[in-house]
Structure 1
C-alpha cells in the first residue's frame, strides 16, 4: 500500500498544539490541480511559502526572497513536505517551539496552470492579485531548487509612491486607558519621510509628497545604501530622518509595501513584525523600538531621556495614508520642549 502523501507533514505536527489543519490519514481529496497559495511565514527567518495543488496535496517550497519580479535573478526555493489542501486558507500563529513556529499570513492565492510537471522541471502560470506570470522551478541540490520568472514583468523600475502620504497621529494629553490595545514608540523628532526602495536605490518623499534631496535634507546621501537593504526587495517604508549623536539615521517604524504586496490593510502589529524580520539595521538606518501594551514604562523612559513625546498606535490599526486618525496618538511629555 503506497505511503500517505501527508505522513511527513503529520509527523512534524501535533494536532493538539498547532492551529494548522492536520487531517486524518486517508485518501487525498480530489481537485482541479489549479489552486496556489503563497504564505508569508514569520519563522526563525522571514520567508514565503509557495504551494501548488497537485494530486490532492499542496506541493510546497520555502522561498527566502519571495518570487523574482523579473527574468534576471533566480531565487532559492527549498522543497518542503507536502501540505494538505486545507492549508490554502490557513492564517494563524504557530506556537513558539513547534515546527515552523511563528506567524503565518496569506500573501496571495488564486489559480495556476501547469505547462510542465516532471522531477526535473515544473513550469506554471500564476493568476493571483499580487503574483502573476510564468515561472519555472528546477532542482539544483537535494531539497534546494531555484525559481525563475520566464516572462517580462508587467512593469519595471522603482515601485511608485502612487500619491502615498504618511499617516498622522492625533495629539492627546494622556496615554490611552486600554494600553494593552496599543504599541508604544518614542517620538524622536526629525524629518518625516517615506523611503521607496527598488533596483538597489532609495529615494525619499517628504510628508508633503515632495521628493527630498541632499540640498533640502542634509545627510540624505548617507542613506543611499538603504536601497540594497531588505534583501534587495522593492519596498516602501515610513520613518523619520533624524540626527542621533551626530549621525544621520533613518528611524523606520512602518512598512507599507513589500515586493509586490500592499500592506496598508494589515494591522500595525503585523506590519511591525514584518518590519522587524527584514533586519534593516545599519549605522544609518534601523527600526524604532516598539513596546506592545507598556505605555507607562515608555513614558517614564522618555521623560528620563528628555524625549519630547511618545506615540501610541493601536495594534489592530490599518495604515491610512494622509489621514490624521485616532488609531495613532501622540502624547507630549510635560517636560518636553
Structure 2
C-alpha cells in the first residue's frame, strides 16, 4: 500500500504528495497513487499533445464515484493559488478579463495534476505564441505575460453516439470521415474518447485560422449527413441525435477545448482518451480502454499518435503550426532540394509502386553523408550507385557494377536524384512501372566526399563487412564524358585508403556444425505433470546461440547466431566480452535483451538495435542502448565436448563453473521449483512469465518439446501467417492486417483471425518484404470467412509469429490480438 504522504522529486521539481491511498475510482479500486503513476508512465506520449496549450482541468477531489452514485466535479481555468511556484503559466486575454493557465511542459506538472485529482485535462487546438516564454514565479518577478494564440495545428472531430447507438457506430462514421480527410490530404488518427465516442485528429500546418478550420469541419459533417442521413447528424439539437452519430465540428472553435489524448476520464471506470489504430476500429467488440491497458500498450510500443505533429520547447520546427521562419538562404536551399526531386516524383505513382515517394524532401542533414549501391534487376541488370548530397541521393546507373580492381573504369549513366529514404529500399517494383523489377541492397554505409565539381566527383565509400565492396574502404572517381552530363565513367583509383588493424582482422567462422536451439511449447500450469520441474525467468528478447572459439594465438572471437541462423555478431558488439568470460570451444544458449529506464526488458528497444546494419549507427546505439545476454544453458565445452545428452541439472552445474558474469553477460539464477513462487517473482520483475524445464530433460537441438513449457502472465499464441489485407493511408505501401492460423490437435492449420495492431514502421516494411517472397494465388486453408478473404493476398504458411491476445471468441478466433514478433 502506498504511503499516505511523501515528498518526491519529479523532473527536478519537489512536490508534496498526500492521501496517496485514497480511492478515486471505487469500482476498480484505483487510488490517487495509481493515477499519479499513470500520468508519469504516459508522460512521454502525452506531453507532445498538451505542451504550450492552455490546460483546463476537470477535478474530482473525491473521485467520480460509481455508476449508481456519481460525484460532482468542477472545472478550473485559472491556475489555483495553491499551485507550486515552479508550475509554468501564461495569461490569456478574454473579452473582459485575463485568465492565467498552467502549461503542462513536463512530468512534474502532470504529477501535480494527479495530486489535485485533475483527472481530465482539456486543451484547445491552438498553442500559445512560441515567442513568449512561460512564466515561472520562483524564477521570475512580476505577473505572467499575456500571450497570443497561434493558428490551430490540428483539426478535431468529436463523434458522439446518440441514444440507440454506441462506439461501434461511431467507428463506422469515423471511417467515412477518414475517407474525406484522406482525399483532402489530411490523414487522421482515431482516439476512443474514454467516455462514449471517438475523436479524430488531423494535423494542420498552421496556415488557417480557427474560424476557417471550423468551417471546413462543419462542411465535412454536413456532407456526411447528406450522404448518410440515417446514420449521421451534424446539428447541435439533442432531439435530432436519436439513432444517429453526432459529428461535433465545433471543437475547432478557438474558444472550445477537447479532452487531451491520454487524459483520464471522470467515469466510473478509469478509462482513457486512448489513441487507436484504424484496424482496431474494425473490431466488433470495440470498447474504451482503461489506464492499465494504455500503459501496457505503450510498453509494447503501441502509440498511434507517435508521429503526429509535435512541439517541444527546444525545437519549434517539430510542430508546423509553431515553426520559426526559415532564413532566406534556408528557404532557397529547401526550394532547390524540392526541385531536385520533381523529376523523381513525376516518374512514379505512389499508389502503384512500393518505392518511397515523399511529397517533400528534408533539408541537408548534419550527420555523415551516406551511400547505397542497389542491385537492380530491371530490363537489364545494373547497379544503382547513390551518394548523399544536399538532402538527396545523387544517382548513377552502373551496368556492370562499381569496379573492384585498381585502375578499372566502367560506364556510369546519371539518373534522376532520389530521396534519402531510398537508401533503405528493397523490394519489387511492379512490371509496368518505371524501373520495374527486383531491387536489393548490394552495399551501403557512409561516404567521404573529397571533391565535388561539376564534371568530377572523388569519394571514399565505407561499406558493410559482408557488402559487395568486400568490407574495405574504396576510393572512386566519377568523371563526366559528355556535354549533357548524362554519361560518366566510374574508376577505382590507384591510391586507395589504408585499412586499420581492426578492419583487416577477419573473424574466424563459428564452430561447425552449431546446434539449433531447443524450443519450448506454450502451455498452462495444468500441463505440468509431476514435480520434476525447475523454473527460469522468461526473457522478452532475441534467442541467441553464442560460441567462443580460437581466433589466433593471442585472442578469441565471439560468434552470435539467432534461432534462424542470422548472424548478430556485429550487431551486438558489446557482447564480445564473452571472450573474456568463457573458455575457447564453449557454445552457449541464452536470450539477448535490452533494458528500459526501469531496468526491465523492452522488446521495442531491442528491435531498434537488432535492425541496425551500419557500423556507425551500431556503435552509437551500443553506447545508448546496451544489450545484455542472459545465459541459461551450455551445449559444448572443449573439456567435455557435446553436453546436449546430459540432464538439465548437470548442464546448469557446468554452466555455473565455466561462465562468469560480466557487465553485459549474466547467468541468472533459476526461480526455484515452486510454480507459484516463480510466477510471483516474475510478475514482480515485470517479466513475460516463466519457463518450466524438466530437471532431468536432455537438450534436443532443433526440437520443440513439452520438456520445456512457456507459462506467460498474458495470453500469447504461436501463429502462422497465411495472408495479408491491403492497407490504407499511411499503410498503403505495407498492409492493413495479417491473416493468421494456428495448429489444431491434429497438426492441421485452422483460421485464427487477423492482427492489425502492435506493428512498428520497421515491422511493417520488414514483414511486407518477407510476405512478397512467399505469395500464392489460393488460400492455404479453407475456413477463412468471406469478409476477411475478400481482399486478401495469400502466402505460403512459412512465417511463424507470436501475438498477444485477450482469449478466444466463441468461434475460436483470437480476441484482440496484438503483434509481438516473428519467430
Please, what TM-score do these two structures have when normalized by structure 2?
A: 0.21
Identify the structure with the greater helix proportion.
Answer: 2
RCO greater where, 1 or 2, for CA within 8 Å and sep 6 or more?
1
Identify the structure with the greater strand proportion.
Answer: 1
Pair member with larger Rg? 2
